[in-house]
Amino acid sequence: MFKKIAVAVSAWLMGVGLAQAAAAPDGGKLYAEHCAVCHGANGTGGIGVPLALPSFQGTISDDYIRKTIKYGRPGRVMPSYTYLKPAEIEALVHQVRSWNQTKPLIFSGQAIKANRAHGADLYAKECAACHGASGEGGKGTGVTFSRPRDLPIMAPALNNSGFLASAPDAMIKLTLMQGHEGTPMESYLKKGLSVRDIEDIVSFVRGFEQARLGRQMDKATGQRPVIVRDSPYDLDTTVKNVMAAVNNNNFFYGRVQPLEYGLTAPDKADPHQVIVY
Ligand code: HEC
Ligand code: HEC
């Protein structure tokens, strides 16, 4: 079981006044501490997709980076950083943007209404091979060490709640029109699709949102199997409480380990994200 815990709530509330007095957070340091292990020291990629490519940065908004850091990609390798303060997330956005001169884009949040059924056909033909038949992403749990050698960059999950909450339709559309040069993600305008076709695919990808909610509902109880709770306690206390609650309900826990266990050197693993098995 993976328990996500937000302990930064009170700090956020006080943060406004204090932030001005304290020095601005150091984006470079925060990046080295939280992101470099997966995305590379200079954003060139590794376990995580490359972030520094102009072709990627030229299709996204700052808001996309901000929300991706905040929500992560639940169930994939990309963690959510709910405990970082807003000023720290801004510093990280700034750091990610510092690697090239690409101008951040701003997208409208408006939904693209198009032919979803046609989008489904096109998706099956053009996208499923890399992103999975249901948008589940490249094989493995986000990124595996056994990814195909001819595909050095893992195709992200498109049916992911973190992705769908971060990427507006207009951004997905631009990504399909331009592609990310330097990665396996090609321009579908260049590959011969029309803007109409691309909009049909976008509306199909957006449809993953409803499909997900449907799947998550446990038919017997009407409750979702994934439970998210904010804890008023610090992380250590919260983990102890979770362990006690498990014991008190006649289950047993196997171990507690950092989320990044096995992905990074033990002393580099982020102590703020843990899994209670
Ligand atoms: C040959 C494999 C391949 C095919 C085919 C492909 N993609 Fe991708 N796609 C990728 C990879 C790899 C990335 C990550 C690129 C990066 O790191 O910038 C990506 C990135 C994306 C992104 C950005 C999402 C994110 O989290 O970075 C979207 C949206 C996307 N693809 C949608 C599609 C759709 C829709 C199709 C079909 C029209 C498609 N892709 C076809 C491999 C592919
Ligand atoms: C444990 C590894 C890991 C860490 C740590 C990590 N990421 Fe990621 N990140 C990933 C992976 C893997 C993906 C692709 C998502 C997928 O596979 O579905 C990703 C995706 C992203 C994306 C979306 C990229 C795209 O092409 O759309 C952004 C932006 C991002 N990460 C930023 C960050 C930042 C900033 C940090 C530090 C605060 C961070 N990540 C920490 C593994 C990681």
Q: Which of 47, 57, 112, 131 to probe ligand 1 with, by most ligand atoms within 8 A of CB?
A: 131
| pLDDT tens over the chain, length 277 residues | 444 444 433 334 444 444 445 678 999 999 999 999 989 999 988 888 899 999 999 999 999 999 999 999 998 888 999 999 999 999 999 999 999 888 899 999 999 999 999 999 999 999 999 999 999 988 643 344 454 555 568 899 999 999 999 999 999 999 999 999 988 899 999 999 999 999 999 999 999 987 655 555 444 445 554 566 777 788 888 888 888 877 777 677 778 888 877 777 888 888 888 888 7
pLDDT at 79: 92
Q: Where are the alpha helices (DSSP H) in 141-194?
A: 161-166, 169-178
| CA pseudo-torsion sign 17, 20, 231, 220 | positive
Residue written as token pair 């997900």:
212
pLDDT at 1: 44
- Which CATH homologous superfamily contains domain 9-97? Cytochrome c-like domain (1.10.760.10)
Domains 9-97 and 116-216 share a fold: yes
How many angstroms does the Cα of residue 78 sit away from the middle of ligand 2? 5
How many angstroms does the Cα of residue 214 sit away from the middle of ligand 1? 24
User: Is the C-beta atom of 83 inside 6 A of ligand 2?
Assistant: no
User: Is the C-beta atom of 39 inside 6 A of ligand 1?
Assistant: no
User: Is the C-beta atom of 77 inside 6 A of ligand 2?
Assistant: yes
Domain residue limits, the chain: 9-97, 116-216, 235-276
pLDDT at 152: 65
End-to-end CA distance of the chain: 5
Who's near 153: CB < 8 A, 6+ residues apart? 45, 49, 50, 183, 184
How many angstroms does the Cα of residue 251 sit away from the middle of ligand 2? 33
User: Quick one: which atom of ligand 2 is closest to the CA of 81?
Assistant: 38
pTM of the model as a whole = 0.76
Q: Where are the alpha helices (DSSP H) in the chain?
A: 9-21, 27-34, 36-39, 54-57, 62-71, 86-97, 116-126, 128-131, 161-166, 169-178, 195-206, 208-216, 235-248
User: Quick one: which atom of ligand 1 is closest to the CA of 126?
Assistant: 37
pLDDT at 200: 98
Looking at domain 116-216, which of 1.10.760.10, 3.40.50.11740, 3.90.1150.10, 3.40.50.2300 is its CATH number? 1.10.760.10
User: Is the C-beta atom of 172 inside 6 A of ligand 2?
Assistant: no
Segment holding 256, helix H or strand E:
strand 256-258
User: Is the C-beta atom of 39 inside 6 A of ligand 2?
Assistant: yes
User: Quick one: which atom of ligand 2 is closest to the CA of 270?
Assistant: 5
How many angstroms does the Cα of residue 218 sit away from the middle of ligand 2? 29
User: Is the C-beta atom of 173 inside 6 A of ligand 1?
Assistant: no
How many angstroms does the Cα of residue 254 sit away from the middle of ligand 2? 28
How many angstroms does the Cα of residue 250 sit away from the middle of ligand 2? 37
State how far the Cα of 216 lies from the Cα of 223, in Å rounded to an integer: 8
pLDDT at 121: 98
